[in-house]
Amino acid sequence: MHIVMVEPEIPGNTGNVARLCAANHMSLHLVKPLGFSIDDKHLKRAGLDYWSLVDVQVHENFQEVLDAYKEHRFFYLTTKSEQCYADIQFQEDDFLVFGKETKGLPEDLLKANPERCFRVPMIEDARSLNLSNTVAIVSYEAMRQLGFPGLAKGGIGIQNLK
């Protein structure tokens, strides 16, 4: 599974997503411009000591990601869709694409891919969820559908979650 953050602005969110990617063996793609330095202390603090476990790739623009992974499926998470993320039938090499905290994904990208746009349901009056929370919600649904591939199944017992 691949997580793509397009022009992320808040280092703490990116650090949290990096930690999630490390713990779940997902690749993290960061699309420039970034609103911080990858060496930022807040970014490192949020990711703690997990950075060595993360496959982080930095791209100059989103088209570079599309060109490099033509054979893969891309899903765009946005508040501007009526389709629910839980309706996606995930595959292991899917790309989950998230926009920047203040504006989301570019409107032209969403309009060009309406069948690939999905949202996390919430009440009408809520503008959006925190970006790192949204990444966690959607990525864990994907892993649940796939049977939590490669993850330790201890703790409360993943077999009880199905």
pLDDT per residue as tens digits for the range 119-155 = 999 999 998 999 999 999 999 999 999 999 988 865 5
pLDDT per residue as tens digits for the range 63-105 = 999 999 999 999 999 999 999 999 999 999 999 999 999 999 9
Q: Provide φ and ψ at 126, rounded to 5°.
A: -85, 125
Which residue positions form the known binding site for S-adenosyl-L-methionine?
77, 99, 120, 128
**What 3-state class would DSSP assign to 52?**
helix
pTM of the model: 0.90
Which residue positions form the known binding site?
77, 99, 120, 128
Evaluate the omega torsion of the peptide bond into residue 11 and state whether it is cis, within 30 degrees of 0.
no
| CA separation, residue 22 to residues 41, 44, 83 (Å) | 18, 13, 28
Partners of 5 in the beta sheet?
30, 98
